[in-house]
Amino acid sequence: MAEPGRVAKGAAEPVLADAIVVGAGPGGSAAARHLADRGLDVVLLEKTRFPREKVCGDGLTPRATRQLIRLGIDTSAESGWLRNKGLRIYGGGTDPFEMPWPELTDFPSYGLVRPRADFDDLLAKHAVAGGAHLYMETAVTGPILDERTDRIVGVTTKDGREFRAPFVVAADGNSARLAIGMGIQRRPDRPMGVAVRTYYRSPRHDDEWLESWLELWDGAPNQSSLLPGYGWIFGMGDGTCNVGLGILNTSPAFGKVDYKDLLLRWLANTPPEWGFTDPANQIGTVQGAALPMAFNRQPIYTRGLLLVGDAGGMVNPFNGEGIAYAMETAELAADAIAEAHYRGAGTTSAERALAGYEAAVKAELGGYYRLGTIFVKLIGHPKIMHLCTTYGLPRKTLMRFVHKLLANLTDKRDGDVMDRVINAMTRIAPSA
Ligand SMILES: Cc1cc2nc3c(=O)[nH]c(=O)nc-3n(C[C@H](O)[C@H](O)[C@H](O)COP(=O)(O)OP(=O)(O)OC[C@H]3O[C@@H](n4cnc5c(N)ncnc54)[C@H](O)[C@@H]3O)c2cc1C
């Protein structure tokens, strides 16, 4: 599916484009499609070859679903999507209960599930269908900097090629190689998570709810040890479930426990009929990766480079969701680049438009992520989490509020009282 951009004569010549996007995960492919839709000639560079796996829970909230709809992707069951109605929450010693996604003007009231191997391939194809030029097996090694201005004017690749454009989107995920190449360092004051997951054959595969476990016990609840971290069980609709857990670096256990062992200890105490206690049902190994949160790399715009998604540490600290935010920041980045392109690359006016990217992202998510950094400090300790779940979960109105807050699902205009309180809190909080 790869196609050349404006290839200058001869293989050794650089490929020229209006914009370069590095990394074809959800952030990169969304950015490429939005840029192509805005009339730019865009190249999308991806180090792997699709379809490929990505360690993930494969769960999409209504916030991520909205981004798919904005891209013009058909999210019907006939197109291979499994819809979910909301969250089923376990914790606090009470029976599990179900929290439907809220009915809102700004978001659909359903989420989705799709294996990343399939999801990322689909998004990359969607970018190509819109006119982006995808280069697979093209690992970017670093930025090409203009000696005079110190701005990024292109990238080099492992196989010795050059791609040149006045605007570059770094969507290369948590490795953030390009951002590091531009001297952007990780902020240690931002929360970081680690999550592991695997797949099991299970009769629960077509569950209509995303299941979230706020407490993990290694035996009977309240009579055994409380394990650190939070778990999930997401039915994939294909005979399997994606099962995993995450731990925040605010937890005393972070970096000191065997996460794989933790996952298996938790699952060993789930009902046998679910299928997670029998190793014969496991498909593939337990794999893990980092969850960089709350803008852990800044600035997110500098000298022609815009950071999108995990490359800028944009995972939501409240719930570990990263796909929606990668796609959302991708759209904002495409808006800023298109504006700069049509104002004229290199002009002061174009630079103003590019700087507007950082302002737009912070206006949308800055206050919310600031609150998230406070939240993760509080819940990092299992005992505090236990207190919250014990006294909070039985209170349905409080839980509806928490549900909206954690999933970042409110109406910006004409919302209900909860929406207005959450929106006010995020407006007042200084940006992360
Ligand atoms: C175990 C686990 C479970 C998770 N579960 C969920 C979930 O259920 N829902 C959710 O919303 N989020 C979840 N997340 C977070 C989510 O996976 C990420 O936030 C999301 O993938 C970020 O998208 P991205 O496009 O920014 O980066 P990525 O998805 O990481 O994509 C980056 C792309 O860049 C490519 N790349 C990297 N380096 C280079 C290079 N040098 N040159 C060219 N290409 C390069 C990579 O191959 C990759 O294709 C989970 C994370 C983990 C670890």
Mean pLDDT of 333-344: 98
CA-proximal residue: ligand 1, atom 37 (nearest): 172
Mean pLDDT of 155-173: 98
pLDDT of 360 over the 80 cut: yes
Using CB distances shorter than 6 Å, the residues near ligand 1 are 22-28, 45-48, 54-59, 64, 139-140, 171-173, 175, 177, 195-197, 244, 288-289, 291, 309-311, 315, 321-324, 326
Domain ranges in the chain are 192-292
Element (H, E) at 330: helix 323-343
Joined tokens for residue 264: 């298996």
How confident is the model over 52-97, as pLDDT tens digits? Answer: 999 999 999 999 999 999 999 999 999 999 999 999 999 877 789 8
What distance in Å separates the CA atoms of residue 235 and residue 85, rounded to the nearest whole number? 12
Alpha carbon distances (Å) from 287 to 198, 199, 319? 7, 10, 19
Count Cα atoms within 13 angstroms, Cβ side, for 25: 28
Assigned fold of 192-292: D-Amino Acid Oxidase; Chain A, domain 2 (3.30.9)
Q: Which atom of ligand 1 is nearest to the CA of 138?
A: 43
What distance in Å separates the CA atoms of residue 189 and residue 357, rounded to the nearest whole number? 23
How confident is the model over 189-222, as pLDDT tens digits? Answer: 999 999 999 999 999 999 999 999 988 888 777 7
Q: Which atom of ligand 1 is nearest to the CA of 59?
A: 8
Residue 221 has what pLDDT?
Answer: 78
pTM for this model (two decimals): 0.96
| Closest listed residue to residue 29, CA positions, set 62, 61, 52, 6 | 52
What distance in Å separates the CA atoms of residue 157 and residue 68, rounded to the nearest whole number? 30
- Contact indicator for 242, 58 with CB cutoff of 8 Å: yes
CA-proximal residue: ligand 1, atom 39 (nearest): 172
CA-proximal residue: ligand 1, atom 15 (nearest): 322
- Helix/strand/coil percentages in the chain, nearest 5: 35, 25, 40
